[in-house]
Structure 1
Amino acid sequence: MTTRNALQTKLEQGIHALGLTLPANAVPRLLDYLALLERWNATYNLTAIRDPEDMVTRHLLDALAILPYVQGETLADLGTGPGLPGIPLAIAAPGRQVLLVDSNGKKVRFLREAIRSLKLEGVRAEQSRVEEVEGQFDCITARAFASLADMLGWGGHLLAPQGIWLAMKGKSPDDELPGVPAAFQVRAIHALAVPGLEAAERHLVVLGRAGC
C-alpha cells in the first residue's frame, strides 16, 4: 500500500516539474481529495484508475498541467466526472467561482461531498446535461468529454464573449478541427508534458469565439 508520504513526494516532484507554484495548503488538500476519491471509488466506481500513484499522475498532475492556461473569474468544468480537472484547479488556484457539471447522479453526489468535506469555497456541482446548463463563464474546461464539434455544439452557449475554452485531449485532434463550428476558432494547440506520462500524448486545444 502506497503511503501518504510517498504520494506527497510524487505529487510535489510533479508540481515542480510542471514549474508551478501552488498555495501552501494545496498539496495536502489535493491528497485529501485523492483519498476521498479512492474511498468512494471502492463503492461507486467513479474512475477506472485504482492505484493511488496512478491517480496522482493521471488525475492530479494531468489536471494541473493546464493550470497556466486557466483565466478569468468564473470556470465551468463540463463532463467533470469525479471533478477532473475542476477540483484540482480549484484547490491549486482558489478564488474563482467554479461550476462542476455532470449528468451522472452518483458522481455529482461525490462532488458535493468533496466540496463539503474539502471546504471548497466558490465551488458548486450541478447534475445536468451540458446543453441545459445556464450562465456564461470566462473559462470552460472539458477533459476527454466529446469531440470538439459536439462539446461546442452542446456547451458553446456557456462561453463568455471574451472567454476561452480549454479542451483536454490525448493525441492532437487534427481530424476534429474541420468540425469546429463557425462561431468558434482554434487559438492554439499545446502539447503538454505531464510528469509520469511521457509515453502518452497529451494536448490542450484552446478555443474562443470567432471575432472576439
Structure 2
Amino acid sequence: MPLAEHLRELRNRLAKAVIAIVVVAIVAAFYQKQLTDFLSSPVPKCPGRDLAQSHGGNCAVVVFNSLSSPFTTIVKVCLLAGVTVSSPIWLYQLWAFLAPGLHKNEKKYTIAFVATAAPLFVAGAYLAYEIMPMSMRVLLKITPDSAANTLNLDDILDFTVRMILVFGLAFELPLLLVMMNIAGMRTSPCSARRVMRRCTRRST
C-alpha cells in the first residue's frame, strides 16, 4: 500500500475513534452529576461547610476554587468517561490499522497480550478505587485539629485518575516481564544460571 493510502487509512481510523469518544462524552454529559458524585465518593465528606473546622482531619469539604472550575471539571469527567467507555472501539481501530503489517505469530502474541492486559488493568483500577477512601483518610489525618480541609473537585479527579493509572500499570508489570522474556529482551534467572555454568565449564 502506498504511503498516501496508509495516511488516508490512519485518518479514517482516527476519525472513527474520535467520533466514538465524542459521542460517549456527550451521552455522559447528561449523567455528569452522577459521575461526579461517583468520582468524589471516596472522599470522607463533612456534614456541612461550617462543621469542617470542628472535624479537623476526619473529613473534608469539596469545593470549587474558581468560577470556571465547575465547567472544566465536568468537561474532564465527560472526556474521561468517553475515553474509558469507548476504549473497545478505539482499541479496535488501532488494532485494525496495525494488524495488516504483523506476521501470524506476532498477531497471536498481540491478541494474547491484549486479552491478558485488559483484565489486569481493570483489576488494578478496581483495587485503586477500593483502597482510595482509606488512603484519603490517612492523608487527611495529618491535618492539625486547628485546621480544616477544603478539597477542590478538580484535584480529587486528578488524584483519582493518577491512582487508577498507577495501580493499573503496576498490575501490567508481570505481563510486561513475561513478554520481554518471550521476545528475548531479558533472560530468566534459570537461563542466566545455565549460561554461567556453560561459561565456567568452558573456562575450566
Shared fold (TM-score, shorter chain, > 0.5): no
Q: Compute the TM-score of the two structures, normalised by the length of structure 2.
A: 0.25
Considering fraction of residues, name the structure with more helix: 2
